[in-house]
């Protein structure tokens, strides 16, 4: 059941130098302020732009997040960023277990689990992504694949946590799950999380995968959808603004 304002999250992935990121953040801040009564908005710039975007968002209702973090607090981990470093930059969220990490970088659920604990430690809210590949879907293994990821990734530790259902075959492909499929998977996932003591009221489930201005309102209307995780369309100020307005 929807109990809170939906979160419209923009995952910028590995896109944007600082000047582009600041310009995009300023546009998002204006759209988010105009829709602040109906939705929350968060952006996930590349690490290199976080500081500049934090400055551009100062005083705006837009929350900031990191696209990943390391499980350790500090140490000899060349190239990595800790959850504490993200918090230090003003982040509230961190995306974990995105398919571009699980499948693209062979990240296991065990690692996602440890990163989620690190996020709690730093006071961040992890947004854990789960979703089936095209091959798993064709074999009728969608719920098994997602259940495996949930059981492996969710720590026992207490902390605010969010989830994103992102069918891997829908990410960046222009293909979106049908609203019927989204409703079915979100409802099933909400029950699974409830059974794990991760009640959906406190852990809204976002949908992600080729969300665009023309499908955002229909997906947000699905009962168990608590928001949207938007990739490609979040890089275009006009398109992301239209997605934000679809929440109203
Ligand atoms: P997309 O990406 O909107 O470009 O499909 C979504 C995501 O990767 O979170």
Tens of pLDDT, residues 15-56: 999 999 999 999 999 999 999 999 999 999 999 999 999 999
In short, whether 226's Cβ falls inside 6 Å of ligand 1 is: no
For residue 1, the model assigns a pLDDT of 52
Domains of the chain: residue spans and CATH: 7-246 (3.20.20.70)
Cβ proximity of 136 and 142 under 8 Å: yes
pLDDT in tens, 26-36: 999 999 999 99
Q: What is the mean pLDDT of residues 229-240?
A: 98
For residue 55, the model assigns a pLDDT of 97
Q: What is the mean pLDDT of residues 177-188?
A: 95
Angle between helical axes of 237-246 and 213-220 (0-180°, round to 10):
20
> For residue 174, how far is its CA from the centre of ligand 1 (angstroms)?
9
This prediction has a pTM of 0.96
For residue 89, the model assigns a pLDDT of 97
C-alpha pair distances (Å), 12 with each of 5, 47, 106, 171, 173: 22, 10, 21, 13, 16
DSSP per-residue letters across 31-95: HHHHTTTT-EEEEE--GGGHHHHHHHHTTSS-EEEES--BSSSSSS-TT--BHHHHHHTT--EEE
For residue 4, the model assigns a pLDDT of 82
In short, whether 229's Cβ falls inside 6 Å of ligand 1 is: yes
> For residue 230, how far is its CA from the centre of ligand 1 (angstroms)?
5
């Amino acid at each position: 059941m929807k109990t809170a304002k939906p979160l419209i999250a923009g995952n910028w992935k590995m896109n944007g130098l600082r000047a582009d990121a600041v310009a995009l953040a300023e546009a998002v801040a204006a759209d988010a302020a105009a829709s602040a009564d109906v939705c929350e908005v968060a952006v996930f710039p590349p690490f290199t732009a976080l500081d500049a975007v934090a400055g551009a968002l100062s005083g705006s209702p837009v929350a900031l997040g990191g696209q990943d973090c390391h499980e350790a607090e500090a140490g000899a981990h060349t190239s990595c960023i800790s959850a504490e470093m993200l918090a230090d930059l003003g982040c509230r969220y961190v995306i974990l277990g995105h398919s571009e990490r699980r499948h693209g970088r062979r990240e296991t659920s065990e690692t996602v689990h440890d990163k989620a604990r690190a996020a709690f430690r730093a006071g961040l809210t992890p947004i854990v992504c789960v979703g089936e590949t095209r091959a798993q879907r064709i074999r009728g293994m969608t719920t098994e694949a997602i259940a495996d990821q949930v059981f492996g990734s969710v720590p026992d530790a207490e902390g605010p946590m969010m989830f994103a259902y992102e069918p891997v075959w829908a990410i960046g492909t222009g293909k979106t799950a049908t609203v019927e499929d989204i409703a079915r998977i979100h409802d099933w996932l909400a029950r699974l999380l409830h059974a794990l003591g991760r009640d959906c009221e406190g852990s809204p489930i976002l949908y992600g995968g080729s969300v665009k201005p023309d499908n955002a309102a229909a997906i947000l209307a699905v009962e168990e959808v608590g928001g949207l995780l938007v990739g490609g369309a979040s890089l275009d100020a006009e398109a992301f603004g239209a997605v934000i307005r679809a929440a109203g």
